[in-house]
Amino acid sequence: MKIIKIFTLLTTLLWINLPTSRAQTSHSLHYIVLNSGDTLYGKVEHVNQRKVTPRYYKKIRFTDTQGNRKKYKRANVAAFNVNNTNYEGFWLSQSSRGITLLNPRYDIDPKNGERHFLRVISKGKLSHYYLEWWEQGEAGSSWMDLFRKEEDQFFIRATQGLFGLKRKTLVKYFFDCLSLQEKIKKKQIRKVSQVVDYYNKTCVD
């Protein structure tokens, strides 16, 4: 009788914990979203970490839950998630707006742009992204902060490296929020996260 009771107890506990285990397994999976709208779960690899300086793969590598592998052209992928970090694909161009290093604007340009997958930091009326890359000989990635308003077909570079916010650029960009302009001018706001929070909480109806 004791053996039967123990078996019954173990079976009950296993049944109770099974949905949780399944949820954890599903949650831990990467996923890839194709332009067709299909979402595939498995393992996603988009960076070649084997080199001294990591590089993006020309094609995004995907392994499904059955171990089947496939490579997808970057142009055919809309978004993906790796280790709970979301990336969204955009065709970005600066070619029509002067010197690239001085130009803070990145146009969404499917015809002439280059495919980039931007790391999503936060989404809202004003969204915050990282444009990431690797310097020669560096194992860790570098990035620049980009802003995009919900209705815009372009991104604005928010910072100038170690020098902080691109204040003149941001004052022009936030023409629709005078109070934010003033706080940026007076250096009452100094961080990217503060700009995003203020705009989304105060500047949006």
Above 80 in pLDDT, residue 52?
A: no
DSSP 21-65: HHHHHHHH-EEEEETTS-EEEEEEEEEETTSSS-EEEEEEEEEET
Most confident of 1-10, 99-108, 190-199: 190-199
State the chain's mean pLDDT as an integer.
83
Above 70 in pLDDT, residue 99?
A: no
User: Cβ neighbours of residue 202 under 8 Å, at least 6 residues apart?
Assistant: 177, 179, 180
At 77, the pLDDT band (50, 70, 90 cuts) reads very high
What digits encode the pLDDT tens for the residues 136-192?
656 566 789 999 999 999 999 999 877 899 999 999 999 999 999 999 999 999 999
User: Cβ neighbours of residue 34 under 8 Å, at least 6 residues apart?
Assistant: 40, 72, 76, 77, 78
At 24, the pLDDT band (50, 70, 90 cuts) reads very low
Closest CA relative to residue 171, chosen from 150, 199, 143: 199
Closest CA relative to residue 116, chosen from 77, 161, 81: 77
Above 90 in pLDDT, residue 204?
A: no
Above 90 in pLDDT, residue 51?
A: no
Looking at per-residue pLDDT, the higher value among 6 and 53 belongs to 53
At 103, the pLDDT band (50, 70, 90 cuts) reads low
Above 70 in pLDDT, residue 72?
A: yes
User: Cβ neighbours of residue 1 under 8 Å, at least 6 residues apart?
Assistant: none
